[in-house]
Amino acid sequence: MEFIYQYAWLIPVLPLAGAMLIGMGLVSYGKTVNKFRQGSSVFIVSLIGAAMVFSFALLWSQIQGHPPYNRIIEWAAAGDFHLTMGYTIDHLTSLMLVIVTTVAFLVMIYTDGYMAHDPGYVRFYAYLSLFSSSMLGLVISPNLVQVYIFWELVGMCSYLLIGFWYDRKAAADACQKAFVTNRVGDFGLLLGILALYWATGSFEFNEIGDRLQELVQSGSLSVGLASLFAILVFLGPVAKSAQFPLHVWLPDAMEGPTPISALIHAATMVAAGVFLIARMFPLFEGLPDAMNIIAWTGAFTAFLGASIAITQNDIKKGLAYSTMSQLGYMVMAMGAGAYGAGLFHLMTHAYFKAMLFLGSGSVIHGMESVVGHDPVFAQDMRLMGGLRKYMPATAITFLIGTLAISGIPPFAGFWSKDEILGSTFEVNPILWAIGWLTAGITAFYMFRMYFMTFEGEFRGKNDSIKNQLKNEQLQRLGLAFGPGAMNSKELTTDVPELHDHEAHEGHHSDTPHESPATMTLPLILLAIPSILIGLVGTPFANYFEAFIHPPGEEAIAGFPPLEIPAEFEWTEFLVMGGSSVGIALIGITLASLMYLSFKIDPGAIAKTSQPLYNLSLNKWYIDDIYNAVFVKGSRRLARQVLEVDVRIVDGIVNLAGLVTLITGEGLKYLENGRAQFYALIVFGAVLGLVLISGIT
Amino acid sequence: MDFANLVAQLNAGTILPEGIIIATLLLVLVGDLIVGRTSSRWTPYVAIAGLLAAVVALYFQWNNPNSISFLGGFNSDSLSVIFRVIIALSAALTILMSVRYVEQSGTSLAEFLVILLTATLGGMFMAGADELVMTYVSFETLGISSYLLTGYMKRDPRSNEAALKYLLIGASSSAIFLYGISLLYGLSGGETRLTAITANILANNVDQSIGLLIALVFVIAGIAFKIAAVPFHQWTPDVYEGSPTPVVAFLSVGSKSAGFALAIRLLVSAFPAVSEQWHFVLAALAILSMLLGNVVALAQTSMKRLLAYSSIGQAGFVMIGLVLGTEAGYASMIFYLLIYLFMNLGGFACIILFTLRTGTDEISEYSGLYQKDPLLTLCLSVCLLSLGGIPPLAGFFGKLYLFWAGWQAGAYWLVLLGLITSVISIYYYIRVVKMMVVKEPEEMSEAVKNYPAVNWNLPGMRPLQVGVVFALVTTSLAGILSNPLFTLANNAVLLTPMLQPTITTIQPAPNPATPGYADLESETKEAIEG
Amino acid sequence: MNLADGVQIVSFGVLALMMLGAALGVVLLENIVYSAFLLGGVFISIAGLYILLNAGFVAAAQVLIYVGAVNVLILFGIMLVNKRQNFVPLRNAWVGKITTAAVCLGLFALLGTMVLATPWAISTAPVAGDTSTVVIGMHFFSDFLLPFELASVLLLMALIGAIVLARREFLPDALEREETQQPVLTLPERPRELASAAPGSPDRTLGTSPTQRNV
């Protein structure tokens, strides 16, 4: 088996080679390559398939108890500056490899159906492949520098892919936002890396953890400083995994094509933050303050996401907030020290959330044939309803996903969520209470989503709802333009005529249709792990926990016996599991009363608790606050600095009255004396520098 | 002193590369006189061949034990060799991209090449000048050639304007520089060789006088003008906007590198008595350059102006390496300049190509370019992203090494500021990339809509294509395969005797408790000493 | 042939006064032709100072180059530019003047302090006197050989540059035909004739739009 380890570097290199080849082809012979649509997609999918097979082999070998494998080569060295690169294969890596490759493989198959008519089909595959390669590279990185490199690369891919469809105005802002927010986090991460290097002199994960512990114990580094470094590193995951307060980019990122949302913004890239925390666990473990901050950030994000998701009407936005909330769970688990539980949830979530997103993509695809290619209509759940009749495969898989995320046994989400809640309870009951409450809300909004989309009557032909939606959109646009800029009547005429990518615009049908097999097949395939994968981590026979455990802890020799261990406490499990299932059932019941049988009018509830409803609908006003504080603030700052360089310099020139007549262009600057003025500045600067450096 | 003895003392072999360039220059000039206008078919290639031959000659100068020549006037140590290579390469790349540009503007190519080669010559001599008169004459050779190049498109009012302005400010700053070195001459009791100046200053007991301080600041002012450091930067945006773009490319790389070479040599060998002060002044200039260059670049709408401000910011980053005064600092600076050569010239080559095809260099006109010219888009994106320091492109490793060196030397605030400003810089670079890559057809700019069919067969286009592709390949590969460049930069510092005794060994501040780290340090120390 | 001390002091005083007076005149007089002539006066006074310092060669070079070449060139420049324009008095011009004066005085004070405060190491080597040309020549062909030769390259290039800038550009027909065939390939650098073809038209501004440039 040794040889598969020696060639493990092929896993990220295969998709990279595919992306490069297709990319080069696109650049040099764009038209020809664009014609080989099927050819290029099959090529790329088979490469990722090969990587997937490889990953499974590695996982199997690791399960068989192969020791972790490290391969490091000297990358660049100058003086005492060393950069090493390489890869490491251990339990965590092999698990992540399998998750990433399987989801990527299925998403790529799905993409064939979803993007079938898009002119950027081949380019899209190249991007997808590039992303997969960077993500796989991130997973196998043995040190922080390499992690940072791939961290930036996945960020770049995400940024480019969010903006893939520029016919949606919002996409421009969305990728801007994603970029800026991620930059804040990456900056923190980079600072953290540098600080850790300063303190420990190493970029390797294990060494950093060990040395930092030693330093803290010997007292040469204060705990506060060490925690500060840890929190700086944590800023990276905060941005990438969309944790409060840097979560704002994720919902907007849904403007990208749905396969991207499924692959990058639900299953893999956003989980990279959790992965990094897991990798750096030896570091965080010994710093209780940092762990607390991580746990509380996660818990708050989980609750925040869930509370916003209740009122979302856009199906993808709803799922996005749900992703954010689930990521909050994982981060909370990490912060509570439940290493295995967090990663377990990462795995189950990757499968069921990818499936939910792909399902939503399928729904949108079906809706587009009725309402046209306007995301305002195609993604709004108020226009859906009753789709189960038209799209049975999608509906059933979506239901499975909904049950899984709501934590209904025996679906995957139950086991992982229950494990998180159980281990959180041991650490801090308040955290558990937040998580427990959030579980109820999750069940409520997910079933609300399911009922609104797939049950009841089809509302896609209802013009009054359409008008209402259009007006809402115009109001939003109007707000963006500033009050009084245009009245909404005028706007109706110049609403950007959204062009169609696909040829079958024009022959609108009256009913939505089921998506092609390339789209439903991945859904069905993803449904299998969504149902079953949880069984590897049941509390009474926890294979997962035995396989994935923090590096510091003693590995449990072999695997737990199939029999239920004697010390297993059934009562505790039943109490914990029962309570979370209970609140989930309450949520589901509430959702069915409101959206299936319409016993309770949601509008009335919204009216009675108007402030709360608005708080949720407006995403806790966080976007608005950021807009007011940071966006406007930074714009003002940039303008002021520019003014210092241009306006004030010019201003002094004007003030100094050196502007004479502007007669000819050729001598413009000379005549208004700017050259003299520049010379004056040069002399003044010389004088100033002498004085300043003489004094100091 | 008989003639043979004198010739032996001159050790004239060290300026063989420069000799090759002078021969090339004369060949181009005379050839053009004899053949006439048709000479433009071969002159650029002759010039490039001459420059490459000079690079080959420089290769044989590497680690030359007998490096001092012309009785102390010129020093061909490894530091000067590497800088001369950078300058010669930047000129060669500039010629590749200027053939079509000059042809299309209807001016004559041979004279352009001659002036450019003279500027290169000035820069190369400046990198090795070890004596005040030599320093000043080469400084002026580079300067005056640059003014002429700037004004070469004499029918374009903007070019005239730029040249005039450059000349005026350049004359002021070179006067200041001259005043500074004349003070040095006076303070050292009539000594012009840099190596002897310090000893004389110490012997004359004027090492703490205000005169030396003034000399220092005046000299720095002259150098800062060449490398366009704030507050001596005002000429940059106007000159960059008005000059012919290939000239701007040369100014931003070749001229700047020559300035840095001069800075290292002059400051390290002539001003050790006031080293605290020169580090302070340079740190101030670096901070101002990084801040102002990168922040003002955010608001630019013209591509050339954007690159002008970005080059101010980049100069600020490079100055971090200079300020540190450590071996790693100098090495990281050289490494960054090597990489900067490819990425910045690549960026300029793309802009020239775009200008040639559309006649504009407004940033907004780039939107949707991907649809029409993927190669250009790819190359410009890679170069800009590399300038911004996005991994795994070359620029990332350059910045990493610079910041690492800074961190090691304890310049935390400088590194922190560098990090913040490089984050800002990524924003404006990405803005351009986004503009080109992700716009859909209906958002294309007018210029891109009228984009002519890509035709590499027009005269002069082929070299431009070679330049673009070469820059693309080196910029993307120099990051991944950066080890040879790292070694090169490091050796250039290690093999330069001048930099050895003066290197202030600022110990990094790790905790001695870490066992592995101390080992690492002692090992590297041994490696250096051994 | 040293002059007597008294004569030296007197002539130094006269030369210094001449130089200062002429220099002030260059800066303060309104008429640029006067300024140019006074500049010649400054140069000659400096040459006189060189003679006082026993530097005959430098003094001769000063007169030849600065007075004979540079100053005459300046005068030619002024007379060839026959653009008559009156200075328009500007509001707030005093701010600029005061800033300039402050910077200049600051520099002057700084340099003055420096000159007085520095213990200059005065060379004890015997003065070359009349043999100075020989000494300079020796230097030119020994330790200053390289800068001397480089200066010749510099001068050659300056000559070429001057010709390039001064000569009338010859545009072959072939090139123009090519330009008319492919209008999109025109550069922003346009012939001045074109730019001034329509005086006062808006396209004389710098920011001509690409479409206008492509006309």
CB < 8 Å from B in window 98-157 of C: 110-111, 113-114, 117-123, 125, 142-147, 150-151, 153-154, 156-157
List of chain A residues whose C-beta atoms are within 8 Å of the C-beta of residue C99: 656, 680, 684
Burial class, A86, CB count within 10 angstroms (exposed 0-12 / middle 13-18 / buried 19+): middle
With bands split at pLDDT 50, 70 and 90, how would you rate the model's confidence at C56?
confident
- Residue pLDDT, tens place only, A497-513: 444 444 344 445 667 77
Percent of chain C surpassing pLDDT 90:
27
CB nearest to B483's CB, from A77, A183, A639: A77
Please calculate the CA angle B249-B250-B256 and round it to the nearest 5 degrees: 105
CB nearest to C114's CB, from B72, B122, B214: B214
Min Cα separation C52/chain B (Å):
19
Over range B103-107, report the average pLDDT.
82
With bands split at pLDDT 50, 70 and 90, how would you rate the model's confidence at A630?
low
- Residue A603: phi, psi to the nearest 5? -60, -40
Name residue, tokens 């590695």. Answer: A58
Instruction: Give the number of beta-carbon pairs within 8 Å between A and C.
Output: 45
Please write down the HEC assignment for all residues of A118-161. CCCHHHHHHHHHHHHHHHHHHHCCCEHHHHHHHHHHHHHHHHHH
SS3 B237: helix
Look at residues B97, B25, B11 and name the one whose alpha carbon lies nearest to residue B54: B25
What is the model's pLDDT at position A507?
47
List of chain A residues whose C-beta atoms are within 8 Å of the C-beta of residue C100: 680
Quick check: A524 pLDDT over 50? yes
What is the model's pLDDT at position A170?
63
Which residue type does B374 have? Answer: P
Q: Give the dihedral of Cα atoms C42, C47, C52, C54; nearest 10 deg.
A: 160
CB nearest to A187's CB, from B374, B397, B419: B419
Nearest Cα residue in chain B from A219: B513
Quick check: C63 pLDDT over 90? yes
What is the model's pLDDT at position B440?
61
What is the model's pLDDT at position A117?
75
Over range B513-529, report the average pLDDT.
42
Of A116-130, A376-390, C57-71, give the range with the top mean pLDDT.
C57-71
- Residue pLDDT, tens place only, C22-36: 999 998 888 888 899
Distance, in Å, from the CA atom of B427 to the CA atom of B494, rounded to the nearest integer, reads 36
For residue A577, CA distances in Å to A41, A71, A306, A535 come to 44, 43, 20, 15
What is the model's pLDDT at position A628?
67
Tokens at A83, concatenated: 């950069």
DSSP string, A304-372: HHHHHHTT--BHHHHHHHHHHHHHHHHHHHHHTT-HHHHHHHHHHHHHHHHHHHHHHHHHHHHHHHHH-
Distance, in Å, from the CA atom of A109 to the CA atom of A517, rounded to the nearest integer, reads 10
With bands split at pLDDT 50, 70 and 90, how would you rate the model's confidence at A244?
confident
Chains that touch B (3 or more CB pairs under 8 A): A, C
What is the model's pLDDT at position A477?
54
The ipTM assigned to this model is: 0.87
Lowest mean pLDDT among A474-483, B182-191, B222-231, B294-303: A474-483
What is the model's pLDDT at position B17?
93
Q: Between chains, do A682 and B296 touch, taking CB under 8 Å as contact?
A: no
Please provide the average confidence, as pLDDT, over all residues in chain C.
76
User: How many of the other CB atoms lie within 10 Å of CB of A317?
Assistant: 21
List of chain B residues whose C-beta atoms are within 8 Å of the C-beta of residue C113: 210
Look at residues A327, A181, A324 and name the one whose alpha carbon lies nearest to residue A620: A324
R_g (Cα) of chain B, nearest Å: 23
CB nearest to C92's CB, from A655, A683, A690: A655
Percent of chain B surpassing pLDDT 70:
93
Look at residues A542, C191, A144 and name the one whose alpha carbon lies nearest to residue B154: C191
Lowest mean pLDDT among A157-161, A265-269, A555-559, C60-64: A555-559
Q: Give the dihedral of Cα atoms B234, B236, B240, B242; nearest 10 deg.
A: 30
Quick check: A195 pLDDT over 60? yes
CB nearest to A687's CB, from C91, C96, C107: C107
Span between the terminal Cα atoms of chain B, in Å = 40
Pick the residue with more confidence: B173 or B498? B173
List of chain C residues whose C-beta atoms are within 8 Å of the C-beta of residue A662: none
CB nearest to A661's CB, from C88, C103, C206: C88
Lowest mean pLDDT among A536-545, B258-267, B348-357, C17-26: A536-545
Instruction: Give the number of beta-carbon pairs within 8 Å between B and C.
Output: 170
Q: Between chains, do B204 and C119 touch, taking CB under 8 Å as contact?
A: yes
SS3 B69: strand
What is the model's pLDDT at position A335?
84
Q: Please say whether the beta carbons of B114 and C160 come within 8 A.
A: yes
What is the model's pLDDT at position C182?
45
- Residue pLDDT, tens place only, B201-248: 888 877 778 888 899 999 999 999 999 888 888 888 888 888 899 999
Question: How much is the pTM?
Answer: 0.80
Alpha helices in A407-428 (DSSP H): 412-427
Q: Between chains, do B452 and C184 touch, taking CB under 8 Å as contact?
A: yes
Sketch the domain layout of chain C as residue ranges. Answer: 10-81, 131-169
Q: Which of C138, C160, C176, C189 to mutate to test the interface with B (most CBs of B within 10 A)?
A: C189
- Residue pLDDT, tens place only, B144-172: 999 999 988 878 888 888 888 899 889 99
CB < 8 Å from A in window 19-48 of B: none
Of the CATH numbers 3.30.470.30, 2.40.110.10, 2.60.40.2890, 1.20.120.1200, which one belongs to the domain with range C10-81? 1.20.120.1200
What is the model's pLDDT at position A451?
82
What is the model's pLDDT at position C41?
93
CB < 8 Å from B in window 178-197 of A: 179-180, 183, 187, 190-191, 194, 197
CB < 8 Å from C in window 647-666 of A: 652, 655-661, 665-666
Over range A448-453, report the average pLDDT.
82
Task: Answer whether A629 touches B (CB < 8 Å).
Answer: no
Over range A190-209, report the average pLDDT.
80
Pick the residue with more confidence: A658 or A91? A91
- Residue pLDDT, tens place only, B109-137: 899 999 999 999 999 999 999 889 999 99
DSSP C120: -
Over range B427-443, report the average pLDDT.
75
Q: Please say whether the beta carbons of B64 and C147 come within 8 A.
A: no
Name residue, tokens 């990425």. Answer: B343
CB nearest to B430's CB, from A83, A179, A682: A179
Please provide the average confidence, as pLDDT, over all residues in chain A.
75
Task: Answer whether A9 touches B (CB < 8 Å).
Answer: no
What is the model's pLDDT at position C166?
82
Please calculate the CA angle A115-A117-A122 and round it to the nearest 5 degrees: 60
Nearest Cα residue in chain A from C94: A656
Quick check: A643 pLDDT over 80? no
What is the model's pLDDT at position B460?
78
Task: Answer whether A643 touches B (CB < 8 Å).
Answer: no
- Residue pLDDT, tens place only, B384-420: 999 988 877 888 889 988 988 888 888 888 988 998 8
With bands split at pLDDT 50, 70 and 90, how would you rate the model's confidence at A79?
low
CB < 8 Å from B in window 71-90 of A: 74-81, 83
What is the model's pLDDT at position B29?
92
Nearest Cα residue in chain B from C204: B157
Distance, in Å, from the CA atom of A223 to the CA atom of A447, rounded to the nearest integer, reads 45
Q: Between chains, do B206 and C143 touch, taking CB under 8 Å as contact?
A: no
What is the model's pLDDT at position A499?
41
